[in-house]
């Protein structure tokens, strides 16, 4: 485990290295407990300039066996090696020399899953961000670009397959049963993109002909016997390759492109050049084992990693502060891809729900940081929703401000100008300034300033003057270490909506720049006056979620109701209904807190019924509209004094009111959507399943609900329907005979399929109520559970702590105590996964006082533990600060 030095890395301290490593040759003799790594590095003085600077290479837990320069072994006095650093005080004066390093590592005892490790007998690597230094000493920073040649040698029976980055150049077998392969990657790359895979894997082959007619050989490697589960991923890969050519003019550049699925992986996947490595959860799928959400994730992540080939690999990051340069941009690209492959309207709503669920609480709590941070202690803790999702929103806003053609011209210039470089956010913004002639200095605050901006809006209409006025005021709440905020440039898309949903025209506007349906907010206050407005409009704001902000609008409920039925912008229409639901739920929460039974107006339930049955709307859209704000969504909107039990009570009461008011129409719709015909994973079919399953969710609250859900479960012909029914049974009818039988049946059916059993763990970890903590403890003893496997830990412990509001935040504090113990237990093996788990308490200050105090005790228990990793210490200390 990496020791916590307490060192804080600062953006302003960046300086280029004194040395470069233009060429790297690696030789691996693989063995589970003692892998020999020989690195031959061509080291150059930057610019050929003589310097007296020592050569200092990064390491992490390494054992050095030998070091030589230009073929001569160094005497012990000529270097200083610790597990974490190799220093050569006086390297040769020549402009270039060859450094040979020999290290020994033990992949089989690497449980942190960084560097070279073993996953189910497969050797694999994860080097981003700083895992390469666990393999050999190196200048392990993204601005050191090197051309790699990699030779791998292993016993053929243990590792018949030997893969690395680039193109295969040579292979051979020895008489003793060993064999080798050599790979060469002609594109200079940073060390974090290095990868190696070796083991016995099954292959799914494919091919792709690029724009210019080059043939690329595609391979997806999976656990032998699971090849047929990789078909969807292969198809998604081909569609991604095509899309990047069409949408961005980006062609693939090597002769081969390989993807490997492994079962122990810290994150989702990794874009290593020509050799992407994936969490198997994001590769393997068929209708029997994967839900529609799994299919959509696979498509998005395959695309994401593939798109990194240009945004990340060909153009990489100068330093880790620039992480959003590749991540925010690549998320934006994968979002656009999914929008084109599926339904743009539905995709946008889902993106915003995700942003609000994950990024807003981050931005509004103790872990807030700018999209481009200026400080970090442990970079792994900055692979966040802010860097990824808000980073994507910032790119989207650039496109909104410049328009699609100028945006594309800017992207073209970015690829042309920076190909082969390690770039910065300033470089990225500059290309858009150059192609548009605009000054983006104020806009750049979106990268530099943390916090979610808020716009307060009120409106008035003067019928005599035919004038409509919007009063808009911006504010950015303070965030840790940034108490004073500067005014931002917020592109606010809007529409004035008249009777029947028709857009209302105006003749002139003053008080702000308004272009193509976007009001450009740049000052603290704008009084935006539209003249020539012939009727009183309802105003639709932040259409398409043009900016990642919160809105406080003084708008009548009638206007919201009107927009929820008539807004021509599908996002804003969904938003209007969602806002109505949220407002009602907050009122109900207060009634429950006051000991009252919450009451609801019939209007809202009626509207829900109309949306459910509106054939003009896509089923997927209707399903999203009907899915109530989550308990966490409601808590975020309330902001403080959170009592999760009262939120739960309010939400269940509203669900029941909607179900009761629409019983007949919901039943008819539900029956009409019955699953028929062969399964296809496309968006339209998935949308029908989603609508049917949300209807089941409502109907399950009515008498005979458990029986209905049980029938749904037993007659399901795909995992989407089966998992939906199991969730309804386990969450709404916990303890019922039907729930017990379904859970037992599911376990028996999928015993031996770890990825499917993750769903079984997840569903049980989410059962509402304070008793679930004991169940989770018990499930940790289940033979399929393993605390060393990140997917198991996330399904059981992660779901409990981040998605079960009434279980985790039980008033007795048992959930928190269990959490503290378990985080510390996970940390012993895998600090990165433990640190990620620990963020579940980031909103502890918004809890009511009793829970707040108990949550704080749990955080202190973690903070006071001995020998904390840098990863976990960083998260807990910032959370408590
Ligand atoms: N670059 C990967 C991606 O596509 C994420 C890898 C993060 N891994 C880590 N250990 N921090 O998003
Ligand atoms: Zn990425």
- SS3 (DSSP) at 605: helix
Is 730 within 8 Å of 765 (Cβ atoms)? no
**Looking at ligand 1, which residue's alpha carbon is closest to its atom 8?**
128
Active-site pick, 305, 327, 362, 827:
305
- Ligand 1 centroid to residue 801 C-alpha, Å: 22
Tell me what pLDDT residue 33 has.
98
**Which DSSP state fits 480?**
T
Q: Is the pLDDT of residue 52 over 90?
A: no
CB of 762 closer than 6 angstroms to any ligand 1 atom: no
Indicate the pLDDT class of residue 50, thresholds 50, 70 and 90.
Answer: confident
* Helix/strand/coil (H/E/C) assignment for every residue in 796-858: HHHHHHHHCHHHHCCCCCHHHHHHHHHHHHHHHHCHHHHHHHHHHHCCHHHECHHHHHHHHHH
Counting from 1 in the atom list of ligand 1, the atom nearest the Cα of 330 is 4
CB of 266 closer than 6 angstroms to any ligand 1 atom: yes
Our measurement of the distance from residue 558's CA atom to the centroid of its chain's CA atoms, rounded to an integer in Å, reads: 37
Pairwise CA distance, residues 870 & 3, whole Å:
6
Pairwise CA distance, residues 139 & 15, whole Å:
13
Q: How far is CA 454 from CA 334, 487, 842, in A?
A: 27, 11, 21
Q: Is the pLDDT of residue 101 over 90?
A: yes
Alpha-carbon torsion (333, 338, 341, 342), positive or negative: negative
Indicate the pLDDT class of residue 3, thresholds 50, 70 and 90.
Answer: low
Is 880 within 8 Å of 856 (Cβ atoms)? yes
- Ligand 1 centroid to residue 269 C-alpha, Å: 7
CB of 833 closer than 6 angstroms to any ligand 1 atom: no
Pairwise CA distance, residues 90 & 799, whole Å:
53
Tell me what pLDDT residue 646 has.
98
Counting from 1 in the atom list of ligand 1, the atom nearest the Cα of 312 is 1
CB of 271 closer than 6 angstroms to any ligand 1 atom: yes
* pLDDT digit string, tens, across residues 762-791: 999 999 999 999 999 999 999 999 999 999
| Among the listed residues 320, 388, 323, 379, the one whose alpha carbon sits nearest the alpha carbon of residue 359 | 388
Counting from 1 in the atom list of ligand 1, the atom nearest the Cα of 379 is 11
CB of 305 closer than 6 angstroms to any ligand 1 atom: yes
CB of 718 closer than 6 angstroms to any ligand 1 atom: no
Q: Mark whether 305 is an active-site residue.
A: yes
CB of 143 closer than 6 angstroms to any ligand 1 atom: no
**Which DSSP state fits 580?**
H
Indicate the pLDDT class of residue 749, thresholds 50, 70 and 90.
Answer: very high
Q: Is the pLDDT of residue 189 over 80?
A: yes
* pLDDT digit string, tens, across residues 700-745: 999 999 999 999 999 999 999 999 999 999 999 999 999 999 999 9
Tell me what pLDDT residue 59 has.
98
Q: Candidates 125, 192, 267, 325: which one to mutate for ligand 1, based on the most atoms within 8 Å of Cβ? A: 267
Tell me what pLDDT residue 2 has.
59
Length of the chain: 881
Within a 10 A sphere around the Cβ of 596, how many other Cβ atoms? 10
* pLDDT digit string, tens, across residues 592-630: 999 999 999 999 999 999 999 999 999 999 999 999 999
* pLDDT digit string, tens, across residues 352-395: 999 999 999 999 999 999 999 999 999 999 999 999 999 999 99
- Ligand 2 centroid to residue 398 C-alpha, Å: 20
Token pair 């985080």 is found at: 823
Query: Which ligand neighbours the alpha carbon of 331 most closely?
Result: 2
Q: Candidates 131, 133, 270: which one to mutate for ligand 1, based on the most atoms within 8 Å of Cβ? A: 270
Q: What is the arithmetic mean of pLDDT over 32-56?
A: 93
**Looking at ligand 1, which residue's alpha carbon is closest to its atom 10?**
128
Within a 10 A sphere around the Cβ of 638, how many other Cβ atoms? 18
Is 285 within 8 Å of 232 (Cβ atoms)? yes
pLDDT above 90 covers a percentage of the chain that reads 98
Q: Is the pLDDT of residue 4 over 90?
A: no
Q: What is the arithmetic mean of pLDDT over 146-163?
A: 98
* pLDDT digit string, tens, across residues 406-447: 999 999 999 999 999 999 999 999 999 999 999 999 999 999
**Looking at ligand 1, which residue's alpha carbon is closest to its atom 2?**
270
pTM over 0.95: yes
CB of 128 closer than 6 angstroms to any ligand 1 atom: yes
**Looking at ligand 1, which residue's alpha carbon is closest to its atom 3?**
270
Counting from 1 in the atom list of ligand 1, the atom nearest the Cα of 301 is 4
Q: What phi, psi does 359 have (nearest 5°)?
A: -85, -40
Indicate the pLDDT class of residue 211, thresholds 50, 70 and 90.
Answer: very high
Tell me the H-state helices in 662-736. Answer: 663-672, 683-699, 705-715, 719-732
* Ligand 2 is an ion; residues with CB less than 5 A from it: 327, 330
Query: Which ligand neighbours the alpha carbon of 333 most closely?
Result: 2
Query: Which ligand neighbours the alpha carbon of 128 most closely?
Result: 1
Tell me what pLDDT residue 47 has.
83
**Looking at ligand 1, which residue's alpha carbon is closest to its atom 11?**
380
Pairwise CA distance, residues 519 & 511, whole Å:
10
- Ligand 2 centroid to residue 215 C-alpha, Å: 26
Q: How far is CA 712 from CA 467, 495, 666, 718, in A?
A: 55, 42, 15, 11
Counting from 1 in the atom list of ligand 1, the atom nearest the Cα of 114 is 10
Structural tokens at position 768: 């509402």
Side-by-side strand order, sheet with 115-119: 115-119, 122-126, 196-199, 161-164
Pairwise CA distance, residues 36 & 84, whole Å:
18
**Which DSSP state fits 597?**
P
Q: What is the arithmetic mean of pLDDT over 540-565?
A: 95
Indicate the pLDDT class of residue 696, thresholds 50, 70 and 90.
Answer: very high
- Ligand 1 centroid to residue 327 C-alpha, Å: 9
Query: Which ligand neighbours the alpha carbon of 324 most closely?
Result: 2
Task: Estimate the crossing angle of helix 231-248 against helix 404-418, to 10 degrees.
Answer: 100
* pLDDT digit string, tens, across residues 823-835: 999 999 999 999 9
Tell me what pLDDT residue 400 has.
98
Tell me what pLDDT residue 310 has.
99
Please enumerate in sequence order all residues whose Cβ is within 8 A of that of 774, keeping only pairs 6 or more positions apart, or say none: none
* pLDDT digit string, tens, across residues 273-295: 999 999 999 999 999 999 999 99
Tell me what pLDDT residue 157 has.
97
Query: Which ligand neighbours the alpha carbon of 326 most closely?
Result: 2
CB of 830 closer than 6 angstroms to any ligand 1 atom: no
Q: Is the pLDDT of residue 48 over 80?
A: no
- Ligand 2 centroid to residue 269 C-alpha, Å: 8
Counting from 1 in the atom list of ligand 1, the atom nearest the Cα of 327 is 12
The H or E element containing residue 738 is helix 737-750
Please enumerate in sequence order all residues whose Cβ is within 8 A of that of 528, keeping only pairs 6 or more positions apart, or say none: 469, 470, 472, 509, 510, 511, 512, 514, 519
CB of 506 closer than 6 angstroms to any ligand 1 atom: no
Q: Is the pLDDT of residue 1 over 60?
A: no
- Mean of the per-residue pLDDT values of the chain: 97
**Looking at ligand 1, which residue's alpha carbon is closest to its atom 5?**
270
pLDDT above 70 covers a percentage of the chain that reads 100
Alpha-carbon torsion (30, 34, 35, 38), positive or negative: negative
């Amino acid at each position: 485990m990496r020791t916590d030095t307490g060192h804080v890395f600062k953006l302003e301290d960046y300086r280029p290295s004194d040395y470069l490593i233009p060429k790297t040759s690696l030789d691996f003799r693989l063995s589970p407990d003692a892998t020999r790594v020989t690195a031959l590095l061509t080291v150059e003085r930057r610019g050929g300039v003589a310097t007296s600077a020592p050569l200092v290479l990064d390491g992490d837990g390494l054992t050095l066996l030998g070091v030589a320069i230009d073929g001569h072994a160094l005497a012990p006095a000529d270097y200083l090696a610790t597990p974490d650093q190799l220093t050569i005080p006086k390297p040769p004066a020549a402009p270039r020399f060859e450094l040979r390093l020999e290290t020994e590592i033990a992949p089989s005892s690497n449980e942190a899953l960084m560097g070279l490790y073993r996953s189910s007998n497969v050797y694999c690597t994860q080097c981003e961000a700083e895992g390469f230094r666990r393999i050999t000493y190196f200048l392990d920073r993204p601005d050191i670009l090197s051309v790699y040649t990699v030779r791998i040698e292993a016993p053929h029976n243990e590792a018949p397959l030997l893969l690395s980055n680039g193109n295969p150049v040579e292979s051979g077998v020895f008489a003793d049963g060993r064999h080798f392969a050599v790979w060469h990657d002609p594109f200079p790359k940073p060390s974090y993109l290095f990868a190696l895979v070796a083991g016995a894997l099954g292959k799914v082959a494919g091919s792709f002909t690029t724009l210019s007619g080059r043939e690329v050989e595609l391979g997806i490697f999976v656990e032998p016997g699971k090849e047929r589960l990789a078909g969807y991923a292969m198809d998604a890969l081909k569609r991604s390759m095509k899309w990047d050519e069409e949408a961005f003019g980006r062609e693939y550049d090597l002769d081969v492109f390989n993807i490997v699925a492994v079962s122990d992986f810290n994150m989702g996947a990794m874009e290593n050049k020509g050799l992407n490595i994936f969490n198997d959860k994001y590769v393997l799928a068929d209708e029997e084992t994967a839900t529609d959400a799994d299919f959509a994730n696979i498509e998005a992540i395959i695309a994401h990693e593939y798109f990194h080939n240009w945004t990340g690999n060909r153009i990489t990051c100068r330093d880790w502060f620039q992480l959003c340069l590749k991540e925010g941009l690549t998320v934006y690209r994968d979002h656009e891809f999914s929008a084109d492959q599926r339904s743009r309207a539905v995709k946008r709503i889902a993106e915003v729900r995700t942003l609000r669920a994950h990024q807003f609480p981050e931005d509004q709590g103790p872990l807030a940081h700018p999209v481009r941070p200026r400080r970090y202690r442990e970079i792994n803790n900055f692979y966040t929703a802010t860097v990824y999702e808000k980073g994507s929103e910032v790119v989207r806003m650039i496109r909104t401000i410049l328009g699609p053609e100028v945006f594309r011209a800017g992207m073209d210039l970015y690829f042309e100008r920076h190909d082969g470089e390690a770039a910065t956010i300033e470089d990225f913004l500059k290309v858009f300034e150059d192609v548009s002639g605009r000054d983006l200095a104020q806009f750049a605050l979106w990268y530099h300033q943390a916090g979610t901006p808020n716009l307060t809006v009120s409106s008035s209409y003067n019928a005599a003057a035919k004038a409509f006025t919007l009063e808009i005021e911006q504010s950015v709440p303070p965030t840790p270490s940034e108490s004073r905020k500067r005014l931002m440039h917020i592109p606010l898309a809007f529409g004035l909506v008249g009777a029947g949903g028709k857009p209302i025209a105006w003749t002139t506007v003053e008080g702000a720049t308004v272009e193509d349906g976007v009001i450009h907010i740049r000052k603290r206050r704008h009084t935006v006056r539209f003249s020539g407005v012939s009727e009183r409009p309802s105003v639709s704001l932040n259409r398409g979620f043009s900016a990642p902000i919160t809105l406080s609008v003084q708008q009548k409920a009638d206007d919201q109701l009107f927009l929820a039925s008539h807004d021509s912008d599908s996002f804003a229409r969904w938003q209007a209904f969602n806002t109505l639901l949220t407002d009602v739920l907050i009122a109900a929460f207060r009634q429950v807190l006051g000991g009252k039974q919450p009451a609801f107006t019939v209007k809202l339930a009626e509207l829900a019924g109309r949306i459910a049955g509106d054939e003009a709307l896509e089923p997927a859209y209707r399903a999203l509209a009907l899915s109530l704000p989550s308990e966490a969504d409601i808590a975020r909107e309330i902001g403080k004094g959170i009592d999760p039990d009262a939120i739960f009570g309010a939400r269940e009461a509203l669900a029941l009111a909607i179900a009761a008011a629409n019983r007949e129409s919901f039943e008819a719709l539900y029956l009409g959507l019955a699953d028929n015909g062969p399964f296809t994973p496309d968006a339209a079919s998935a949308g029908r399943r989603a609508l049917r399953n949300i209807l089941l969710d409502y109907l399950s609250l009515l008498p005979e609900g458990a029986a209905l859900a049980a029938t749904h479960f037993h007659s399901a012909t795909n995992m989407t329907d089966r998992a939906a029914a199991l969730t309804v049974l386990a969450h709404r009818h916990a303890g019922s005979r039907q729930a017990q039988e379904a859970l037992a049946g599911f376990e028996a059916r999928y015993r031996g399929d770890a990825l499917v059993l993750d769903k079984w763990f997840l569903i049980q970890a989410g059962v509402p109520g304070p008793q679930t903590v004991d169940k989770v403890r018990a499930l940790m003893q289940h033979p399929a559970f393993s605390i060393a496997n990140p997917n198991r830990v996330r399904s059981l412990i992660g779901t409990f702590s981040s998605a079960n509001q009434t279980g985790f935040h039980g008033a007795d504090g048992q959930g928190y105590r269990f959490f503290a113990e378990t985080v510390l237990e996970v940390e012993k093996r895998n600090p990165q996964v433990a640190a990620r788990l620990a963020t579940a308490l980031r909103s502890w200050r918004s809890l009511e006082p009793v829970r707040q105090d108990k949550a704080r005790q749990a955080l202190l228990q973690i903070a006071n533990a001995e020998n904390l990793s840098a990863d976990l210490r960083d998260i807990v200390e910032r959370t408590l600060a």
